[in-house]
Amino acid sequence: MKLDKTLTDKDLGQIIAQMTLEDKAKFVSGKDVWSTQAFEKYNIPAMYVADGPHGLRKVRKTTSNQLGNTIPATCFPTASALGSTWNVELIEEISAAIGKECQANNIQILLGPGLNIKRTPLNGRNFEYYSEDPYLSGKIAAAFVRGVQSQGVAACIKHFTANNQEHERMMNSSNVDERTLREIYMRGFEIAIEEADPWTMMCAYNKVNGIWANEHEWLLTKVLRDEWGYEGIVISDWAAVNKADRAVHAGLNLEMPANKFSSDKIVQAVKNGTLDEQRLDTVVKPLLRIALKTNNLKQVNTELDLNIHHTLAIRAAEESIVLLKNENDILPLDLGKLKSVAVLGRFAETPRYQGSGSSNVNAYKEENALAQIRNILGNHIEINYLPFYESRGDKYAEADLPKAIDIAKKSDVALVFIGLPDDFEAEGLDRLHADLPESHKALIREVATVQPNTIAVLSNGAAVEVEEWERDVPAILESWLSGQGSGAAVANILFGKTNPSGKISESFPLRLQHNPSHLYFPGSNRNVDYREGIFVGYRYYDTKSMEVMFPFGHGLSYTDFEYSDLVVSSKEFSDTDTLKVSCTIKNIGKRAGAEVVQLYVHDKVSELPRPIKELQAFTKIHLESGASAHVQLELNRRSFTYFDTALGEWFAESGDFDILVGSSSRDIRLRETVTLHSKQKRVRIFDKFSPLRDLQDHPIGRPFVEKMLQNFGTSLDADKPEDYEAKAIFLSLPLIKSVNFSQGTFSEDMLEDFIRKINA
Ligand code: BGC
CB 166 near ligand 1, within 6 Å = no
**Residue 736 one-letter amino acid:** I
Residue 111 Cα: closest atom of ligand 1: 10
DSSP calls for 85-122: T--HHHHHHHHHHHHHHHHHTT-SEEE--B------TT
Task: Kindly tell me the burial class for residue 398, based on how many C-beta atoms sit within 10 Å of its own C-beta (0-12, 13-18, 19 or more).
Answer: exposed
DSSP calls for 625-670: TT-EEEEEEEE-GGGT-EEETTTTEEE---EEEEEEEEEETTEEEE
Residue 65 Cα: closest atom of ligand 1: 12
Comparing CA positions, the residue from 310, 406, 431 lying closest to residue 363 is 310
- Residue nearest ligand 1's atom 4 by CA: 238
Q: Are 223 and 186 in contact (CB under 8 A)?
A: yes
CA of 241 to the centre of ligand 1 (A): 13
3-state secondary structure of 202: strand
User: Residue 702 and residue 750: Cα distance in Å, rounded?
Assistant: 17
CA of 129 to the centre of ligand 1 (A): 13
Q: Are 493 and 500 in contact (CB under 8 A)?
A: yes
A 10 A CB-CB count for 38 gives 15
Among the residue ranges 123-132, 298-307, 577-586, the one predicted with the least confidence is: 298-307
- Give 8's pLDDT tier (boundaries 50, 70, 90): confident
* Percentage of residues in the chain having pLDDT higher than 90: 92
CATH (one of 3.40.30.10, 3.20.20.300, 3.30.450.20, 3.40.190.10) for 38-296: 3.20.20.300
Q: What is the pLDDT of residue 1?
A: 47
Residue 428 Cα: closest atom of ligand 1: 7
Q: Any idea where the domains of the chain sit in the sequence? A: 38-296, 316-549, 561-677, 692-759
CA 318 to chain centre: 21
Residue 112 Cα: closest atom of ligand 1: 10
Q: What is the pLDDT of residue 3?
A: 52
What's the pLDDT tens digit per position in 29-44? Answer: 999 999 999 999 999 9
CB 237 near ligand 1, within 6 Å = yes
User: Residue 548 and residue 425: Cα distance in Å, rounded?
Assistant: 22
CB 128 near ligand 1, within 6 Å = no
Q: Are 236 and 259 in contact (CB under 8 A)?
A: no
Comparing CA positions, the residue from 112, 114, 94 lying closest to residue 57 is 112
CB 515 near ligand 1, within 6 Å = no
Q: What is the pLDDT of residue 64?
A: 82
CB 51 near ligand 1, within 6 Å = yes
Task: Identify which of 48, 49, 51 to mutate to test ligand 1's pocket (most ligand atoms within 8 A of the CB).
Answer: 51
User: Residue 709 and residue 413: Cα distance in Å, rounded?
Assistant: 76
A 10 A CB-CB count for 233 gives 29
Find the length of the chain. Answer: 760
CA of 456 to the centre of ligand 1 (A): 33
What's the pLDDT tens digit per position in 99-136? Answer: 999 999 999 999 999 999 999 999 999 999 999 999 99
Pair type for strands 109-111 and 154-160: parallel
Residue 566 has, within 13 A of its CA and on its CB side, a CA count of: 19
Mean pLDDT for 416-435 is 96
The CA-CA-CA angle for residues 332, 334, 338, to 5°, reads: 130
Among the residue ranges 197-211, 379-393, 469-483, 725-739, the one predicted with the least confidence is: 725-739
Q: Are 179 and 642 in contact (CB under 8 A)?
A: yes
- Residue nearest ligand 1's atom 7 by CA: 238
- Residue nearest ligand 1's atom 3 by CA: 358
Q: Which fold has domain 561-677?
A: Immunoglobulin-like (2.60.40)
CB 358 near ligand 1, within 6 Å = yes
CA of 355 to the centre of ligand 1 (A): 13
Q: Which fold has domain 316-549?
A: Rossmann fold (3.40.50)
Task: Kindly tell me the burial class for residue 26, based on how many C-beta atoms sit within 10 Å of its own C-beta (0-12, 13-18, 19 or more).
Answer: buried
- Give 557's pLDDT tier (boundaries 50, 70, 90): very high
CA of 238 to the centre of ligand 1 (A): 6
CB 236 near ligand 1, within 6 Å = no
Residue 4 has pLDDT above 70, yes or no: no
Residue 530 has, within 13 A of its CA and on its CB side, a CA count of: 28
Q: ω before 159 within 30° of 0 (cis)?
A: yes
3-state secondary structure of 712: coil
- Residue nearest ligand 1's atom 2 by CA: 237
3-state secondary structure of 615: strand
CB 57 near ligand 1, within 6 Å = no
Residue 51 Cα: closest atom of ligand 1: 10
Comparing CA positions, the residue from 644, 681, 676, 677 lying closest to residue 659 is 676
CB 158 near ligand 1, within 6 Å = yes
- Residue nearest ligand 1's atom 8 by CA: 237
CA of 521 to the centre of ligand 1 (A): 22
Q: What is the mean pLDDT of the chain?
A: 96
Residue 671 has pLDDT above 60, yes or no: yes
- Residue nearest ligand 1's atom 11 by CA: 238
Longest dimension (CA), the chain: 100
Mean pLDDT for 277-293 is 97
**Residue 207 one-letter amino acid:** K
* pLDDT: which is higher, 257 or 683: 257
CA 125 to chain centre: 12
Residue 205 Cα: closest atom of ligand 1: 8
CA of 321 to the centre of ligand 1 (A): 26
Q: Annotated active-site positions, please?
A: 237
Exposure class string for 663-686: b at 16+ Cβ within 10 A, else e: bbbbebbbeeebebebebeeeeeb
What's the pLDDT tens digit per position in 177-205? Answer: 999 999 999 999 999 999 999 999 999 99
- Considering the entire predicted model, what is its pTM? 0.96
Q: What is the pLDDT of residue 232?
A: 98
What's the pLDDT tens digit per position in 218-254? Answer: 999 999 999 999 999 999 999 999 999 999 999 999 9
Mean pLDDT for 638-659 is 96
CA of 438 to the centre of ligand 1 (A): 31
CA distances (Å), origin 465, targets 122, 234, 433, 441, 522: 11, 37, 9, 11, 19
